[in-house]
Structure 1
Amino acid sequence: MADPTSCRIDGLERLNPKRILCCQLRQIGDVLLLTPSIHMLKKHWPNAQIDVFTEKKCAPVLENNPEVNHVWALDRKMSVLESLRYYRTVGTGGGLGRYDLVIDFQQLPRIRWVMLFSDAPVKLSYPPPWYNQLVYTHWAKVSGPYAAKSKAGVLMNAFGLPWENDPPRIYLTDAEKDHARTELAAWGLAPGQTLVTVDATHRRITRLWPAEHYAALLTMAGKQRPDLRFLLLYGPGELEVAEQVRDKALAAGLDPAQLILPPRLTTLREMAAIQSQAALHLGNCSSPRHFAVAVGTKTLTVRGSTSSAWTYPGPGHEDLALGLPCQPCSENTCPLDRKCLTGLKPEVVLPKMLEMLAE
């Protein structure tokens, strides 16, 4: 039996693909972190057409990306039979000829169906468990520690492509940026004021810095910097958390004029356009931090159970953690009542936040 941790890359040096399929179904942040790998492929094979297989909710991340030819957007509401037909269509190239190279960056069952239907001569992934090795023709080790580099490691080790620390990419139009500026002005942002986007939400409790900590931090920062305006981001089902932060901050004495709670849910691309107008993004370890990197906005992340591997290794991007012996655990539950988060006090985060805003 082959060692699943070893590389199996013989013969790839002769590959010159005309059509490439990259498979990364979810999550939204992970699809954004796939874009450096897409850029590496396009740089190495500029004439190749690159398609992406992802979930419908993630497709806006790749909109207007000049390096992506087509996005196969999976609707998870399809029936089993409809899904199988769709996997076959994707795997066989949608009637435009077979793919020369299919890369599985995630190894989920839905992607394996695409792999099984595909007749691509090269089906590449990171080392699979022994019971899935027949799905792939080649595999290569990942790299790290940065999460986008880890994905790209398959390309680095299979094809010898260099890692150049490319940030994630999202391609906003001028119209999207203009719309963001118009919306921000309507919500109260005036010229000369400094915007900070704040993501106080997360579906995992072990990544969720307490609302009262966010409220205290914004209040302290707002009193020291009256020019600051804090915009509370929220996604579907997250408005209540944003409202908690708002209410607690106002109760602590933050000037109401310094707080912006969008009156409606923004789309992913609208959120990115808003972040492009900000001086700093503050938040938990979740996808908005990657969007901020993609639009060139500085980021400050409070970490709980996750590692610093999700922090872009470039200037202007920092994370803070309490540094308990159990960190990072990468767990979704905590027997210690989330001491890594509750114990990380706003007074510790404030100096770094003000420092990054002053730079």
Structure 2
Amino acid sequence: MKILVIQQKMIGDVLTSTIICEALRKVYPNATIDFLVNSNTRPVIAENPFFDNIIEFKNEYKSSKKEFFFFLKQIRQYKYDHVIDVYGKLESNLITLFSGASTKVSFYKWYTQFLYTKTIKRNSQSITNASIAIENRLRLVFPEDRITSEITKPKIFLTKEEKEKAKDFLESNNISTNTPLIMISVLGSEIKKTLPFEYMAKVIDTIVKDTGACILFNYIPDQENDARTIYNLTNYKTQKHIHLDVFAKSLRGFLAILSHCTALVGNEGGAINMGKALGVPTFTIFSPWILKKDWNMFDDGETHISVHLSDYFPELFLQKNSKELKNESLDLYPLLKPELFINQLLIFLSKNL
């Protein structure tokens, strides 16, 4: 039996969907399982034992109809028996259709349901602390009465050599893995998913004052100027603890460094999901327009804590949809003052450091 799982999109989505491959491995232990993802997310799922092959969806497939058609023909040649389309957009609709699989499963959409042999309606409320992102994915494999018993966490697999190399790298930069080391996700993927800079600076000041920990910043290269702006907003004593220029040159390198961190604090996004998959305690700050219940995976009030403006001002979110909140996010974010959640952060630090 040959199975294809399709999850294009960003790192957090891809990492979360690895649980589908793990579930399939349990149900079909002798099957060949392939995982189709965007090329840039491949490093996050490397070394994962729950699928056999990574099928890359390359950028040229988006930019060239000819290249995309050749890719569809290649998919056809693999002769899959079973396809699970988690993504559910036009590209994955066509991949599923061209696969020729006898069983095709996806989430229900009225305008694409005819493409699939089975569609699953997403639940809007979670029944565990795993989050609806986890639970709904498991519904693509298991019947409803098995969801709670089949809950599992996404996992990232690093080699011993990768971990040792990261440790040597940190120590070469005078960072001991025997002292608290906190990664700060200082910036979201866009400004509407980023805590105001001055607020993030206050959060970092609080962490250093309370713990004396070494601080690493997580940001992508084109965010360097904004990261330095946040650094400059912290006080002088805090800056002595921040290793702003210590960062990995690859995503696998970042993951190996993150695996040595005592905790990860900051904006919701891929880094938070990667931290959880590595077993690193996380404190997550959600954007006002992101639904916390969708992505607060495995929040337990101790090892994983998340905060959202709706926790403090629920009346602001009554009868508003995600699109409206996204448009208003830059106006809403300033209301999420650090004073609202600083005690929760201090409790988190005391329990995990």
Question: What TM-score, normalized to structure 1?
Answer: 0.86
Partner of 2:33: 50
The answer to whether 1:190 aligns with 2:176 is: yes
The residue type paired with residue 59 of structure 1 is R
Partner residue of 1:338 out of 295, 307, 331: 331
Partner of 2:140: 154
Distance (Å, rounded) in 2 between the aligned partners of 1:311 and 1:270: 25
Give per-residue Cα distances to partners, 1:294-347, cap 9 Å, x unaligned: 0000111112221222011243111112223344853474347432x2122223
Partner residue of 2:291 out of 298, 307, 321: 307
The residue type paired with residue 243 of structure 1 is R
Q: Structure 1 residue 117: deviation in Å?
A: 1.1
The answer to whether 1:358 aligns with 2:350 is: yes
Distance (Å, rounded) in 2 between the aligned partners of 1:133 and 1:66: 31
2:196, 2:334 within 8 Å by CA — same for their partners in 1? Answer: yes
The structure-2 alpha-carbon separation of the partners of 1:191 and 1:109, relative to structure 1 and needing over 3 Å to count, comes to closer
Partner of 1:269: 252
Distance (Å, rounded) in 2 between the aligned partners of 1:51 and 1:336: 38
State how 1:162-311 maps to structure 2 within 5 Å: 163-226=149-212, 228-249=213-234, 252-263=235-246, 266-304=249-287, 305-308=289-292, 309-311=294-296
Higher deviation after alignment, 69-78 or 182-191: 182-191
Q: Structure 1 residue 181: deviation in Å?
A: 1.2
The answer to whether 1:87 aligns with 2:80 is: no
Q: Structure 1 residue 287: deviation in Å?
A: 0.7
Distance (Å, rounded) in 2 between the aligned partners of 1:119 and 1:289: 37
Partner of 1:6: none
Distance (Å, rounded) in 1 between the aligned partners of 2:220 and 2:260: 19
Distance (Å, rounded) in 1 between the aligned partners of 2:331 and 2:321: 11
Distance (Å, rounded) in 2 between the aligned partners of 1:213 and 1:91: 51
Distance (Å, rounded) in 2 between the aligned partners of 1:285 and 1:192: 27
2:177, 2:260 within 8 Å by CA — same for their partners in 1? Answer: no
Distance (Å, rounded) in 1 between the aligned partners of 2:145 and 2:77: 24
Partner of 1:14: none
Q: Structure 1 residue 33: deviation in Å?
A: 0.5
- Cα RMSD of the aligned pairs, angstroms, is 2.2
Identical-pair percentage: 24
Partner residue of 2:6 out of 23, 30, 37: 23
The residue type paired with residue 119 of structure 1 is G
Q: Structure 1 residue 254: deviation in Å?
A: 3.1
User: Which structure 1 segments of 5+ residues have no match?
Assistant: 1-17
The SS at the match of 1:73 is strand
The residue type paired with residue 280 of structure 1 is A
The SS at the match of 1:171 is coil
Distance (Å, rounded) in 2 between the aligned partners of 1:260 and 1:33: 30
Q: Structure 1 residue 142: deviation in Å?
A: 2.8
The answer to whether 1:113 aligns with 2:100 is: no
Q: Structure 1 residue 183: deviation in Å?
A: 1.9
The residue type paired with residue 81 of structure 1 is K
Partner of 1:320: 307
1:303, 1:321 within 8 Å by CA — same for their partners in 2? Answer: yes
Would you say how many aligned residue pairs link Structure 1 and Structure 2?
333
Distance (Å, rounded) in 2 between the aligned partners of 1:21 and 1:213: 44
Question: Higher helix share goes to which structure?
Answer: 2
Partner of 2:22: 39
Partner of 1:141: 121
Give per-residue Cα distances to partners, 1:163-193, cap 9 Å, x unaligned: 5331111111111111221222233312542
2:199, 2:337 within 8 Å by CA — same for their partners in 1? Answer: yes
1:92, 1:119 within 8 Å by CA — same for their partners in 2? Answer: no
Question: What TM-score, normalized to structure 2?
Answer: 0.87
The SS at the match of 1:31 is helix
The SS at the match of 2:348 is helix
Q: Structure 1 residue 148: deviation in Å?
A: 2.0
2:166, 2:257 within 8 Å by CA — same for their partners in 1? Answer: yes
The structure-2 alpha-carbon separation of the partners of 1:76 and 1:176, relative to structure 1 and needing over 3 Å to count, comes to same
The SS at the match of 1:238 is helix
